[in-house]
Amino acid sequence: MSEIKNLVKVERLVGEIDIPGDKSISHRAVMFGSIANGQTLISNFLMGADCLSTVSCFRKMGVTINIEEGQVSVDGKGLAGLVEPTDILDVGNSGTTTRLMMGILAGTSFHSCIIGDESIARRPMSRVTEPLKMMGANIDGRENGQYTPISIRGGNLKGIQYQSPVASAQVKSAILLAGLQTSGEETIVTEPHKSRDHTERMLRAFGVKVQEDEKSASIVGGQSLQATNIFVPGDISSAAFFLVAGAIVPNSEIVLKNVGINPTRTGILDVLKMMGASIEIIPHNEQPFEPIADIIIKTSTLKGTTIDGDLIPKLIDEIPVIALLATQAEGETIIKDASELKVKETNRIDTVVGELTKIGAAIKATDDGMIITGKTSLVGNAVVSSHGDHRIGMMLAIASCITNEPVQLEDAGAIDVSYPNFFEHLSLLSK
Ligand code: S3P
């Protein structure tokens, strides 16, 4: 991950790209395929390092998963069919693998041990281990179950009504997956704001009944999953980098094809509209279980805005690149209610503010977000770092498209976590 990239300003960005598969949906397709009965075929699967960590973990639990030219086949074992791994389950950099897999392992009778990289070791796990313990799972980990390494021996689970203190799809999904393994009891998870609902939608595609309302989701245990075929839409969180690039690089027009527009993920589109961007969304006619659109973005005159409340979970992963967007907007952009940023792959309040400051942005950290004042000319001649965080790396690469001097990006390899062909796409569009 210590790769250094020299990045230079671009004249304009023009053309069309097909956005790679959604990370959240790719993880879930492998996991749910593994615990379903029958064979699941997944197309447009994201071949990023995080999703490959999920594949590797489920292979270690006896699931046959074949990958050929972007198509993945998963030979499901059924909910009771996973086998005790003889090796530790290494999740790499992936929080989604860690937390959702814990929900599945909570109901197994065997022992397993989860570890990941340094970033995973810093991320809070008690938000998942605590409710799973309440349901009857035996879980331990460093500092009383707060951090990895975590060991699990599942138990006889009982349903709970859980009020999550954070809006987190990873927490909600882990509890629903554990809830699926109770014997006929109901499990309800309520959140302060609605988080992404890919688990609920995909479980339905696998034939499971899940109820969903404004801020809660519920499931009745004892239902089985039937294998299905999944087309993974393009990841709006990856598209976000080129949406911002198209808006801030002069004389640009980019067409982003096959982008997932699940309403729990489209906060970036709301923000672009609020800031006055020139954006067109063309929904596809046939909407499978996740809606898809092509999006056209053009160079825009932008104004600052306030981003907070219910909007935050809909764009939590896009905040680094939204901060960059805000440096090119007239006036102040205030991002608040976003303290979850502190427990992502890096503390993204610190890394965004620190790195954008190096290239001349007027940005300051607050307790639960940041305030950016624009419009500023970004300067180059700086060494910036991804800090091993894929989204910080991509945000800085897009920033370098408009800096007056070249920028050196350290740890550029981190980008492979979610967008392995990011630089290919960037050079394809650069004219
Ligand atoms: C994800 C949920 C979000 C998001 C992460 C992927 C998921 O995390 O930041 O990149 O796939 O469920 P939280 O659930 O912790 O908010």
**pLDDT value at position 279?**
98
Q: Is-contact 302 328, C-beta < 8 A?
A: yes
Q: pLDDT digit string (tens) for 142-195?
A: 999 999 999 999 989 999 999 999 999 999 999 999 999 999 999 999 999 999
Torsion of CA 106, 112, 117, 123, to 10 degrees: 30
Beta carbons of 295 and 279 less than 8 angstroms apart: yes
Q: Which residue's CA is the nearest one to ligand 1's atom 4?
A: 317
Cα(292) to centroid(ligand 1), Å: 20
By CB neighbour count within 10 A (0-12 exposed, 13-18 middle, 19+ buried), where does 199 fall? buried
Whether this prediction's pTM lies above 0.85 is answered by yes
Per-residue pLDDT, 1: 47
What stretches in the chain show pLDDT beneath 50?
Answer: 1
Quote the CA–CA distance of 261 and 235 in Å, as a whole number: 9
**Residues recorded for the chain:** 431
Known binding site: residues? 23-24, 28, 95, 123, 168, 170, 317, 344, 348, 391
In angstroms, what is the span from residue 23 Cα to ligand 1's centroid? 10
Residues 6+ apart with CB under 8 A from 53: 90, 91, 92, 93, 94, 97
The pLDDT, as a whole number, for residue 2 is 67
Beta bridge partner(s), residue 74: 40, 65
Question: In order of start, what are the domains of the chain with their CATH numbers?
Answer: 4-21+234-429 (3.65.10.10), 82-223 (3.65.10.10)
Adjacent-strand bridge partners of 114: 89, 150
